[in-house]
Structure 1
Amino acid sequence: MMSVALPLYDRKALTPGIVHIGLGNFHRAHMAVYLDDLFNMGLGHDWAIIGAGVRAPDAAMREALKGQDCLSTVIELDPSGKKARRVGAMIDFLPVEENNAALIAAMSRPEIRIVSLTVTEGGYFINASTGQFDPADPAIVADAANPHRTAFGAIIAALKARRDAGIPPFTVMSCDNLPGNGHVTEAAVVGLARLSDPALADWIKANVAFPNGMVDRITPATGPRERALAAEFGLGSDPVPVTCEPFRQWVVEDNFPQGRPPLEKVGVTFTPEVHAFEMMKIRILNGGHATIAYPGGLMGIEFVHEAMAHPLILGFLNKVETEEIIPYVPPVPDTVIADYHQLIVQRFSNPEVADTERRLCLDGSNRQPKFIVPSVRDALAAGGPIEGLALVSALWCRYCAGTEDDGTVIPPNDPNWDQLQPLAMAAKADPQLWLNGLASIYGDVAQSDRFASAFGRWLTRVWTEGTPASLAAYLDGKA
């Protein structure tokens, strides 16, 4: 039986300082691990996490974690050897309620100085065509009429309660993969508040901190393989173990008026230049994921490391990155961009992680406008090449048609699948229908004749010749 590292601190002596909304795999392998490291050093014991969720599926996670005293199993998948630990940074998980009463009450407590979130890239109610908060989103309209149903509605209610009681506001910290995630979170909270209480919205804007941050760690979904790994460590009773790569990174603005844990002691970078790190990561890593996702998905490749071992997919990634993405990534402090690219290739190729192509293909309608379209826009503005990025988009469209190259059915893999699939099928005959039908995703890029022409050519080629031949043609410069 392999050994498992346990918390070195007395968990009963911890007191809460953070409420975290969204207890998925990424949070438990990232922020919770950093705090666990800090607590193991004997520091920051008044910054323990109270977990929370606002969706019905969060109740299942609560049940699983409460059943093991809120401990999370985290297994690092290093090719040189796996390591498991039990992370004890969370000390409670609130009931998941439709009106979020328990969550609002917890966030209203004076000792809670940070409220953090991992609610996915699609959970911030952004209009993709404008890049701004969308007050007309049905969930936002419903929350304004019947408050506190969303995470942001609950945050607003707790901030109001603190203001009325004379308690300083907590800091709101997004840990999601979004450009300017602090600004995006502020727009959602202030924008929702403004629909029902403009004075409160003004107070929030003037008094609440929303630091920007960049987070990074590849964390696959949990399935039978991950549970089997936990069993190898004698933790077979854990229904929700987390596996992850050894690498992790967290860069954040130091904007915490009510204080923060001394996370710099465990490797967190505090800097006013988060935007530079963030753009590098979102364009190169997340954009890279999108680049290899759909060719692998269409070719029936299950795992990311298997896709990276395919010379056409690896060649496609490297060419798109070096010629069409990296040229528009600004300099990053103490970082060589070319070295970062090579690090990404190494991380994607780690066979132990066993991340799936299907996970990378998930939710393209939220990921493409954040991770691919901005690179297209920059390349068009600079007059640079866009053939590879157009092929990435064409492969996404082809994937959304719902079959692999060999005809194997692709199960729905996007919240908007019912809209995307018929549109993708119609685009087989008229590619412009895809761009016109997804104006909220492509924005002004859809109006570019150069991009539309390239997209149409590649989509036709993928349909008629298949994915491998299309990749080979791109690598040979045969657009």
Structure 2
Amino acid sequence: MSQPLSLATLSALPPAVERPRYRREALRPGILHVGVGNFHRAHQAVYLDDLFNQGRDLDWALAGAGIRPGDRAMRQALQGQDWLTTVVEMEPGAHRARVTGAMVDFAPVGEDGRAIVAALQDPAFRIVSLTVTEGGYCIDPATGAFNPQHPDIVHDAAHLQAPRGVFGVLVAALKARRESGLPPFTVMSCDNIPHNGDVTRDAVAGLARLVDPALEGYVRERVAFPNSMVDRITPATTDAQRAALSERFGIQDGWPVFCEPFRQWVLEDRFCAGRPALEEVGVTFTPDVAAFELMKIRILNGGHAAIAYPAALLGIHFVHDAMADSEVRGFLDKLEAEEIVPVVPPVPGVDLDAYTRLIARRFANPEIGDTIPRLAQDGSNRQPKFILPSTRDRLKAGADVTGLALVSALWCRFCAGTADDGRPVTVDDANAARLTPAALAAKDDPAAFLGLRDIFGDLADTAPFRARFATALGSLWRDGTRATLRRYMDGQLI
């Protein structure tokens, strides 16, 4: 018989379920995390749970926070189970469940961020960590620079007393702590963007400048923004997984997390108010996060982008099924080996070819149930971060970009809104209203899509890329995805 998850029922869970070995009442919050989703609960929260299980740093527990409607639903689900989460690691032949207790509170979610600003006046909070998605950093996709004209930035600069964006919340909280004589907190991004700490610093300092130039100076001089690289494949939770958790492990969890066994966290040791001893539980501290970050973003995230659109156009729903498709897998293998890995700089202690093979095995894990629609969403933010930088590097080196241009052409073809068999596909992107018309126009004039300058930037003016893109897109419309992938693998897409 299954048990609703709570502190009161922990002792009644089956012996196979790992549970906290520390006294929950001994924890004290020290980190406020904005954007409590599946990835955070399968990653940072698990590392902290491991640390607390060693009896260490019990004053670094988590409190959740958020300002989006989805954050309210997450808070409600977790509150009903005393902020506990079940994490299930899955691989062929083995499912392992554990209950984590690293979170001890969750700030009320309102129409703005005032509750978070108020919570951050507690000096016990020495780190604010973020998972607010790649598109949440108010940057210009074409340049990667902070965009002071972003609607959230414009609003919060004028209404800092009731901020609606995460950076308004951070600036308001830092301003209040400064005025109260409290020390600042570290801001630690855990999102998949290059130089995430630097990008976060520019967003916080950029908004602070609009509020008060002296506040910008305080942010840049006193607040720490460590760069990091994070990795764990963590799909969205399904009702079928909730039911399986109840049946297999006897746990009724309103929002469990199912994920792969692999996890990685590489972090710059730059904190202004202390930190937990995460190196004791497998976190790599290094001054050279950029090398790990670039490797992961280009090989793993770039690989996800590479398989998402051909699979979607072929009507494939699951990532592991895409990896079992000979054309999709062959495209990925050739693209990684010939065009992506050669422009990834060396990483200390890492064999890039072995890392690429590991990524392919992780993608192929059938237990994860990761979906192509998840990988295909938000392409207007992901292409400029995961694919186009490799394209630019190869063009600068005078190298061919046939495969990378094909990735961009596949995304364009996907944005037209139909699969190869004519069935509609959902373009889940904040910019869908302009992507789809541009993609349809590109059927006859490829420049219509490359003209999205905020995405492609100067690549639209680069003749080799324009030519490869046009060839690939023409083949996709004329002959279909499968034939185009075969042509690329045979070296005939010219």
TM category, shorter: over 0.9
Task: Work out the CA distance in 2 between the residues paired with 1:397 and 1:230.
Answer: 39
Structure 2 match to 1:244? 259
Structure 2 distance, partners of 1:444, 1:462, is 24
Work out whether 1:62 is the aligned partner of 2:75: yes
The amino acid across from 1:400 in the alignment is C
CA drift at 1:225: 2.8
Instruction: Indicate conservation of the 8 Å contact 1:94/1:103, yes or no.
Output: yes
**1:74 equivalent in alignment to 2:81:** no
**Which stretch shows the higher mean deviation, 467-476 or 147-156?**
147-156
The structural deviation recorded for 1:130 is 1.8
Specify the alignment match of 2:329 in structure 1.
Answer: 314
Find the counterpart in structure 2 of residue 429 from structure 1: 444
1:473 aligns with 2:487: yes
Tell me by how many angstroms 1:234 deviates.
4.3
Q: Are 2:50 and 1:37 aligned?
A: yes
Quick one: structure 1 residues 420 and 38, their matched pair in 2 at CA, closer, same or farther if it must change by over 3 Å? Answer: same
Any stretches of 5+ residues in structure 2 without a counterpart? 2-13
1:136 to 149, 152, 160: 149
Cα deviation for residue 235 of structure 1 reads: 5.2
Task: Quote the residue 1:443 is aligned against.
Answer: 457
Shift of 1:84: 0.9
Secondary structure, counterpart of 1:18 in structure 2: strand
Q: Distance in 2 between matches of 1:99 and 1:138?
A: 15
Aligned pair partner of 2:297 in 250, 268, 282: 282
CA distance in structure 2 between the partners assigned to 1:473 and 1:235 by the alignment: 50
1:44-63: CA deviations, max 9, x gaps? 10000010001122101110
Note if contact 2:84-2:100 (Cα within 8 Å) is conserved in structure 1: yes
Q: Deviations over 1:279-332 (max 9, x none)?
A: 000000000000011000100011111111111111100111111111111110
Which stretch shifts more, 312-321 or 142-151? Answer: 142-151
Rounded Cα–Cα distance in structure 2 between residues aligned with 1:28 and 1:257: 24
Q: Distance in 2 between matches of 1:235 and 1:181?
A: 39
**CA distance in structure 2 between the aligned counterparts of 1:387 and 1:463, rounded to whole angstroms:** 17
**TM-score normalised by L of structure 2:** 0.95
Q: Residue 4 of structure 1 contacts residue 85 of structure 1 at CA under 8 Å; is this kept in 2? A: yes
Q: CA deviation at 1:236?
A: 5.5
Name the counterpart of 1:184.
199
- Cα RMSD between the aligned structures? 1.1
Confirm or deny: 8 A CA contact 1:228 1:236 kept in the other structure: no
- Residues 1:461 and 2:475 are matched in the alignment: yes
Q: Determine what percentage of the aligned residue pairs are the same residue.
A: 59
Runs of at least 5 residues in structure 1 that lack an aligned partner in the other structure: none
- The 8 Å contact of residues 178 and 184 in structure 2, kept in 1 or not, is answered as yes
Distance between the aligned counterparts of 1:21 and 1:450, measured in 2? 42
Q: How does 1:63-212 map to 2 (within 5 A)?
A: 63-147=76-160, 148-212=163-227
Q: CA deviation at 1:196?
A: 1.5
CA contact (8 A) 1:323 1:385 kept: no
Worse-matched range after superposition: 220-229 or 265-274: 220-229
Shift of 1:233: 3.7
For the residues of structure 1 that align with 2:492 and 2:57, how far apart are their CA atoms? 58
| Rounded Cα–Cα distance in structure 2 between residues aligned with 1:304 and 1:104 | 40
Q: Contact 2:222/2:272 (CA < 8 Å) preserved in 1?
A: no
Is 1:324 matched up with 2:311? no
Equivalent in the alignment of 1:388: 403
Q: Secondary structure at the match of 2:69?
A: coil
2:288 pairs, out of 234, 259, 273, with: 273
Kept in 1: contact 2:414–2:427 (CA 8 A):
no
My pick for the range that moved more, 159-168 or 23-32, is: 159-168
Give the match's secondary structure for 1:334.
coil
Secondary structure of 1:220's counterpart equals coil
Match of 2:34 among 21, 45, 60: 21
1:445 CA displacement:
1.2
Q: In structure 1, how many angstroms separate the alpha carbons of the residues matched to 2:427 and 2:397?
A: 36
Deviations 1:353-383 (A, max 9, x none): 1101111101101100000000000010011
**1:205 positional shift:** 0.7
| Residue identity opposite 1:255 in structure 2 | R
Q: Which residue of 1 aligns with 2:421?
A: 406
- Quote the Cα distance in structure 1 between the aligned partners of 2:246 and 2:373: 25
* Partner Cα separation in structure 1 for residue 315 and residue 89 of structure 2: 27
Give the whole-Å Cα distance in 1 for the aligned partners of 2:88 and 2:247.
11
Matched to 2:64, the amino acid is G
Change (3 A) 1:235 1:421: farther
Moved more, 138-147 or 243-252: 138-147
Deviations 1:183-224, CA, capped at 9 Å, x for gaps: 000011001111121111111111100000000000011122
**SS of the residue 1:132 aligns to:** coil
Q: What displacement does 1:13 show? A: 1.2
On the 8 A contact 1:84/1:233 being kept in 2, the answer is no
2:167/2:204 contact within 8 Å kept: yes
Secondary structure at 1:84's aligned position in 2? strand
In 1: Cα distance, 2:271 partner to 2:252 partner:
38
Q: The residue matched to 2:422 in structure 1 has which SS?
A: coil
Instruction: Give the distance between the partners of 2:246 and 2:444, measured in 1 at CA.
Output: 50
Offset, 1:237: 3.2
How many matched pairs? 478
What whole-Å deviation, never above 9, does each CA across 1:392-443 have from its counterpart, x for those lacking one?
Answer: 000000111111100111123111111111111111111110001x111111
Equivalences for residues 288-307 of structure 1 within 5 A: 288-307=303-322
Once residues 92 and 40 of structure 1 are traced to their aligned partners in structure 2, the CA distance between those partners, rounded to angstroms, is: 19
| Structure 1 segments (4+ residues) deviating >3 Å | 233-237
Query: One-letter code of the match for 1:308?
Result: M
Asked if residue 452 in structure 1 is aligned to residue 459 in structure 2, the reply is: no
- 1:40 is displaced (CA, Å) by 0.7
Question: Is structure 2 residue 242 aligned with structure 1 residue 227?
Answer: yes
Residues 83 and 103 of structure 2 are in contact (CA less than 8 Å); yes or no, is this contact kept in structure 1?
yes
- Secondary structure class of the residue paired with 2:471: helix
Q: Give the CA deviation at 1:80.
A: 3.0
Cα distance in 2 between the residues matched to 1:258 and 1:26: 25
2:11 counterpart residue number: none
